[in-house]
Amino acid sequence: MPSVDVLVEGIIKGDSSTLGRAITLVESNRKDHLEKANAIVQKCLSQKRDAIRIGITGVPGVGKSTFIEALGAQLNAQGNRVAVLAVDPTSTQSKGSILGDKTRMDELVKNPKAFIRPSPSGETLGGVARKTRETIILCEAAGYNIVLIETVGVGQSETAVHGMVDFFLLLKLSGAGDELQGIKRGIVEMADALVVNKADGDNIKKAAAAAGAFKRALHLYPPKENGWIPKVLTCSATENSGIDAIWEMIQGYIEQNKKSGYFLEKRKRQNRNWLYESIEERLKSEFFQNGNIAPEIEKFVTEVMAETISPFQAAAELIGMFKNKS
Amino acid sequence: MPSVDVLVEGIIKGDSSTLGRAITLVESNRKDHLEKANAIVQKCLSQKRDAIRIGITGVPGVGKSTFIEALGAQLNAQGNRVAVLAVDPTSTQSKGSILGDKTRMDELVKNPKAFIRPSPSGETLGGVARKTRETIILCEAAGYNIVLIETVGVGQSETAVHGMVDFFLLLKLSGAGDELQGIKRGIVEMADALVVNKADGDNIKKAAAAAGAFKRALHLYPPKENGWIPKVLTCSATENSGIDAIWEMIQGYIEQNKKSGYFLEKRKRQNRNWLYESIEERLKSEFFQNGNIAPEIEKFVTEVMAETISPFQAAAELIGMFKNKS
């Protein structure tokens, strides 16, 4: 493995294989890899990076990969360099890792202006989220000016992705009148736009009707703190229609928010939250992985299970040891 | 405030006003109160306590208070001493604190064999859950042999309550055929019994039909790890009908699980989980409340927001300081 400086140099040159190797370090759980990864992230942070980060979510089958393929191709054609990442903490369990099957984006994969990276596997959501955040920094330092982050529309991964992007897009299908049913309220509240996909052929009318229903339903939600009213659009990713209007809308949003200062303010807040998450994660990992503490935890677990000591008292004693012994 | 020993003595004697004062200590966030509370909990743990802990949930309006009033009266009449606690982290926001309006249980409140305590207010779910767990220990040491813990059927408080009880009961109303709709799958999975309340007057047939629908729906859920098949019953808390059958079912469950060893095994696992939660909570509170660390966190927040340091690096440096300085 090359040195930190060599890797950083390669990243900044935009060499995608070096970027891939650096991300592998970020994704590793080996302690020496971790140190190297931290040094790389730290150096990449100081690079000029002005990418736009877009989160894309939706239930399985909604056409996320096809949508990203279509949007990515258009962005590439306009001269942008696009990185596609994924957050999917369930990938090892379900074997249905998003972006794992790269052939689903076969055009984008072949495009030298695009970089595609599947979700790191075998990790908790917290772990995946941290690694994805650091990967974003690396991709941006490598000159990718648009980062698309895909996540599945189930569970809590949307909240994690929402916390690392500038724009959050929810893909939907036209349903049978139940429209906003089946999506958790929280996910709709996070969305800056709802896009009804598969608006093609016989489905065009149904998609338009669904979009209308979404628009009405969104009126029941409180306005965003930046005053933005979530937009509802339709598209067909397979027929490549409506994609340009979506990108225009996103650009409009970004411009408006950069002007108002909200863009930077949100980024800063995301960074601060990320610090607090990092602190909590590291506190726990240092405590539970401490060689002096682990056998003590075992002893206290036995005592707590037998109710000879209260869990609260046991925690106090263990943390006292942690601060003295480590 | 009397000494720890005096308070513990009063608790063991079953003096409810001393119990109330001790719970106030448990609920306090003052550091000196915390130490006293820990000492009391620790001493109460060593008392013989063989209470049964029952969690009761259901959406607002389902009749939880009336149900608890009816069940509590019956249990009291059979010679049991009943403590009623609540877990409701939303109580300060909504002002709709469960058990807060004690007049809703006016019979039980007057009964000297019952002890009623509303949810501690102004706290996170984690804080409320910890305080409720410690309050259970105190109530049991005071001789209450049945502890009923009420929670609202929304949000994550059910999971917290499920993690501290022996039996978890979900109250429902007969609906318009949508039956299990509107309850999160996870809550149904946690329930050891579903009870359709308000099965009285014109509603008896509808309640029976709802119970039938619930029974069929429950077949779609995986069996419990102890082999228990969740029971579905109907009752009318206002007419006091069906309450005896519910109590018989719960007793049957407890007997069966005590025989198989599952009862104790589950208690032990709950205690172990409580230890891990206590550790995480205390690690965070010691870190963030450390007088030497707080100003350093501020500095790093500024740097992280300006992207001159990675959150991960900042967390590493802060935790290094924590271990050296404190």
The ipTM of this complex is 0.81
Alpha carbon of A244: minimum distance to chain B alpha carbons (Å): 32
Q: What value, to the nearest 5°, has the Cα angle with vertex B217 and ends B212 and B218? A: 100
Q: Is the pLDDT of residue A127 over 50?
A: yes
**CB-based contact A319 B274, cutoff 8 Å:** no
More confident residue, A107 or A301: A301
Kindly state the DSSP code that residue A198 receives in the 8-state scheme: -
Per-residue pLDDT tens digits for A298-311: 999 999 998 899 89
Virtual CA dihedral for A300, B129, B158, B206, nearest 10 degrees?
130
Query: CA–CA separation, A126 vs A121, rounded Å?
Result: 12
> All domains of chain A, ordered by start, with CATH?
1-47 (1.20.5.170), 48-263 (3.40.50.300), 275-325 (no CATH)
Between CA A22 and CA A29, with CA A25 as vertex, the angle to 5 degrees is: 165
Facing residue for A311 by CB, picked from B278, B305, B319 = B278
Q: Are strands A231-234 and B52-58 parallel, antiparallel or unpaired?
A: unpaired
The mean predicted confidence, pLDDT, of chain A is 88
For residue A94, give the H/E element and its range: helix A91-94
Q: How confident is the model at residue A107 (pLDDT cuts 50, 70, 90)?
A: confident
Top pLDDT among A1 and A11 is at A11
CB contact under 8 A, A313 and B41: yes
Residue type, A105: M
Residue A60 has a pLDDT of: 80
A148 in helix, strand or coil? strand
- Residue from the list A38, A284, A306 with its beta carbon closest to the beta carbon of B310: A38
Shortest Cα distance from B200 to chain A (angstroms)?
A: 32
Choose among A130, A268, A323: nearest Cβ to B326.
A323
Q: Which residues of A242-264 are buried (b: 16+ CB within 10 A; e: fewer)?
A: bbeebbebbeebeeebeeeebbe
Q: Are B152 and B187 in contact (CB under 8 A)?
A: no
In this complex, the residue of B42, B272, B305 whose CB is nearest that of residue A272 is B305
DSSP letter for each residue of B24-76: HHHH---HHHHHHHHHHHHHHHTS----EEEEEEE-TTS-HHHHHHHHHHHHH
pLDDT tens digits along A82-106: 999 988 766 543 444 566 555 567 7
Measuring CA to CA, how many Å separate B152 from each of B104, B170, B196, B216?
15, 10, 16, 25
Q: Which residue of A has its CA nearest to B274?
A: A311
pLDDT digits (tens, 9 = 90+) for A21-39: 999 999 988 888 988 999 9
Q: Looking at CA atoms only, how far is residue A262 from chain B in angstroms?
A: 14
Residue B67: its pLDDT value, please? 95
Q: How many CB atoms lie within 10 A of CB B225?
A: 9
What per-residue confidence (pLDDT) applies to A86? 86
Task: Round to whole Å and give the CA distance between A236 and A177.
Answer: 20
Q: Which residues of B touch A309 (CB under 8 A)?
A: 42, 45
Separation of CA A166 from chain center: 11
Distance CA B275, CA B45 (A): 14
Total Cβ atoms within 10 A of residue A290: 17
pLDDT digits (tens, 9 = 90+) for A231-258: 999 999 999 999 999 999 999 999 999 9
CB contact under 8 A, A279 and B319: yes
Q: Report the alpha-carbon distance of residue B279 to residue A147 in Å, rounded.
A: 37
The torsion defined by the Cα of B250, B252, B257 and B258, in degrees rounded to 10, comes to 100
Nearest by CB to B301, from A275, A283, A284: name it: A275
Residues of chain B with pLDDT under 70: 89-104, 121-123, 153-155, 175-185, 325-326
Helix A262-288 and helix B262-288, axial crossing angle in degrees, nearest 10: 120
> Which residues does chain A have within 8 Å of residue B305's beta carbon, measured at their own beta carbons?
268, 271-272
Higher pLDDT, B176 or A219: A219
Contact between B236 and B199 under an 8 Å Cβ cutoff? The reply is yes
Please report, for residues A202, A310, B31, B116, the alpha-carbon distance to residue B24 in angstroms, rounded to integers and kept in the order given.
66, 18, 13, 13
Tell me the torsion sign for CA atoms A226, A227, A229, A235: negative
A41 to B287: CB separation less than 8 angstroms, yes or no? no
B197 closest CA partner among B149, B152, B241: B241
Q: A172: which strand partners?
A: A196
- Give the pLDDT confidence score for residue A51 in this predicted structure: 95
Contact criterion met (CB < 8 Å) for B316 and A282: yes
Which of A268, A271, A310 minimises the CB distance to B45?
A310
Smallest CA–CA separation between A241 and chain B, in Å? 37
As a whole number, mean pLDDT of residues A281-303 equals 92
Q: What percent of chain A has pLDDT over 90?
A: 58
List residues in chain A touching B: CB distance below 8 A.
Answer: 38, 41-42, 45-46, 130, 133-134, 137, 268, 271-272, 274-275, 277-284, 286-287, 300-301, 304-316, 318-319, 322-323, 326
A313 contacts on B by Cβ (under 8 Å): 38, 41-42
Residue the block writes with tokens 């308070």? B7
Please say if the pLDDT value at position A229 is more than 60.
yes
Probe site for chain B from A130, A278, A317 (most B CB atoms < 10 A): A278
As a whole number, mean pLDDT of residues A152-179 equals 81
**Residue among A245, A229, A256, A253 at smallest CA distance from A71:** A245
Q: B interface mutation test: which of A178, A268, A272, A310 has the most B CBs within 10 A? A: A310
Q: How many contacts, defined by CB atoms under 8 Å, are there between A and B?
A: 122
Residue A237, amino acid = A
Range with lowest mean pLDDT among A88-92, A146-150, A178-182: A178-182
Residue ranges of E strands in chain B:
52-58, 82-87, 114-116, 146-152, 167-172, 193-196, 231-234
Name the strand (E) or helix (H) holding A196. Answer: strand A193-196
Q: Which of B272, B278, B309 sits opposite A315 (nearest CB)?
A: B278
